[in-house]
């Protein structure tokens, strides 16, 4: 079996530095100037390790160097380099590589990236029914072609290569306007469909937005949280419409798609980066408030990479408050809430059950998986 294999090396670099994405040369330059480092290869390494051992006869059609070859060589897996970027990899390299993989007879394309990468794969395949599986390594990851976590993506690769999953289904390729996203406006668009192996336990659903009927519940959550903010304690308010309602209740300007800091009902930091959060967090005196991504169930690892494992450890697992409207949780049922921080040991500490604030003095116990 031939498996197309590549990594978008710069995917996800904009997340920890609060840039909401990494599309475009200028955004990548800004990310690097803010201290961002590549993380996509680490995510793909987790996926590959979860896929092993693979059946005899599996051979990878890979991109050269950091686009995939290095990871395969390190694991002594059989591969053939079918595309080498002329310099730093770009979207054009992704599209060209996928076309070569398809022409070379790839039976699955396994890649690490974000929504922009999925768009490039979709454009390159142009309707060809070659299945794909994505390893989530970007910032937003609205598309349904990605694994719930890198480990789940790797497990799906092993199942497919072993013949355990044979049925295919269509999965949406979604992306947003990153410039509008940075201004606090979510403008998502459906770009097309890709075939994926049918395994709902391994693949995520596409993200769904908050609905207006949730407004009363969001307001009730906000009032409850605001009333129970302790004087002198630092509160980090994560991204989303539910958490934005808390900032509205406090009559403070909030970053809809970022992390803000509040102390004594005053805004002391807005749209903070990972580095700024590490400098600001007061161990044992900080509460982090986050919400759930509708349709997917993620608490961490989708659109809030500035809440890195280092930040979360400094805050403390016990100091994380999850808020979500009842409608959002009903929409997820029976799926669990998910954590995908990039640190498996930390993810396991979050696993179990969480008391999610769903209204005024109202909580619901929800299962959390990693």
Tokens representing 179? 């410039």
Domain 2-197, second-level architecture:
3-Layer(aba) Sandwich (3.40)
Q: Are 62 and 3 in contact (CB under 8 A)?
A: no
Asked if residue 31 has pLDDT above 90, the reply is no
Residue among 131, 135, 166, 113 at smallest CA distance from 49: 135
Neighbours of 279 (CB within 10 A): 10
Q: Are 294 and 207 in contact (CB under 8 A)?
A: yes
CA distance 275 to 106: 41
Domains of the chain by residue range = 2-197, 212-369
pTM to 2 decimal places: 0.76
What is the percent of the chain with per-residue pLDDT over 90, rounded to a whole number?
75
Strand pairing of 79-83 and 59-63?
parallel
Counting beta carbons within 10 angstroms of the beta carbon of residue 193, is it exposed (0 to 12), middle (13 to 18) or buried (19 or more)? middle
Residue 224 — pLDDT band, cuts 50, 70, 90? very high
CA distance 283 to 281: 6
Q: What is the DSSP string of 43-73?
A: HHHHHHHHHPSPPTT-EEEEESGGGTHHHHH
Q: Express each pLDDT in 113-143 by its tens digit.
A: 999 999 999 999 999 999 999 999 988 788 9
Q: Express each pLDDT in 265-317 by its tens digit.
A: 999 999 999 999 999 999 999 999 999 998 889 999 988 989 999 999 999 99
- Determine if the peptide bond prior to 306 is cis (ω within 30°): no
φ/ψ region of 325 (left if φ > 0, alpha if ψ in -120 to 50, else beta) reads beta
């Amino acid at each position: 079996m031939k498996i197309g294999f590549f990594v978008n090396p710069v995917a996800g670099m904009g997340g920890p530095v609060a840039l909401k994405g990494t599309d475009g040369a200028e955004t990548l330059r800004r990310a690097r100037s803010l201290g961002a480092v590549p993380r996509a290869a680490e995510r793909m390494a987790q996926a590959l390790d979860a896929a092993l051992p693979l059946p005899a006869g599996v051979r990878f059609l890979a991109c050269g160097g950091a686009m995939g070859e290095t990871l395969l060589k390190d694991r002594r897996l059989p591969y053939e380099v079918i595309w080498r970027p002329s310099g730093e990899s770009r979207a054009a390299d992704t599209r060209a590589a996928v076309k070569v993989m398809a022409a070379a007879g790839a039976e699955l394309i396994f890649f690490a990236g974000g929504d922009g990468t999925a768009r490039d794969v979709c454009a390159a395949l142009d309707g060809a029914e070659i299945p794909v599986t994505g390893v989530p390594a970007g910032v937003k990851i609205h598309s349904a072609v990605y694994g719930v976590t890198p480990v789940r993506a790797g497990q799906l690769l092993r199942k497919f290569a072993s013949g355990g999953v044979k049925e295919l289904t269509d999965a949406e390729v979604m992306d947003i306007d990153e410039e509008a996203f940075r201004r606090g406006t979510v403008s998502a668009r459906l770009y097309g469909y890709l075939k994926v192996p049918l395994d709902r336990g391994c693949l995520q659903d596409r993200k769904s937005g908050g609905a207006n009927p949730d407004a009363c519940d969001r307001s009730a959550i906000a009032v409850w949280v605001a009333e129970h903010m302790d004087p002198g304690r630092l509160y980090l308010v994560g991204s989303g419409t539910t958490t934005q309602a808390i900032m509205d209740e406090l009559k403070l300007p909030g970053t809809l798609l970022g992390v803000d800091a509040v102390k004594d009902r005053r805004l002391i930091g807005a749209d903070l980066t990972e580095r700024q959060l590490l400098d600001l967090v007061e161990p044992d005196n900080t509460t982090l408030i986050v919400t759930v991504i509708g349709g997917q169930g993620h608490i961490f690892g989708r659109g809030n990479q500035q809440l890195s494992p280092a930040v979360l450890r400094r805050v403390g697992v016990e100091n994380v408050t999850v808020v979500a409207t009842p409608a959002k949780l009903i929409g997820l049922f029976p799926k669990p809430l998910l954590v995908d921080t990039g640190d498996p040991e930390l993810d396991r500490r979050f696993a179990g059950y969480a008391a999610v604030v769903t209204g005024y003095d109202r909580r619901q116990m929800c299962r959390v998986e990693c």
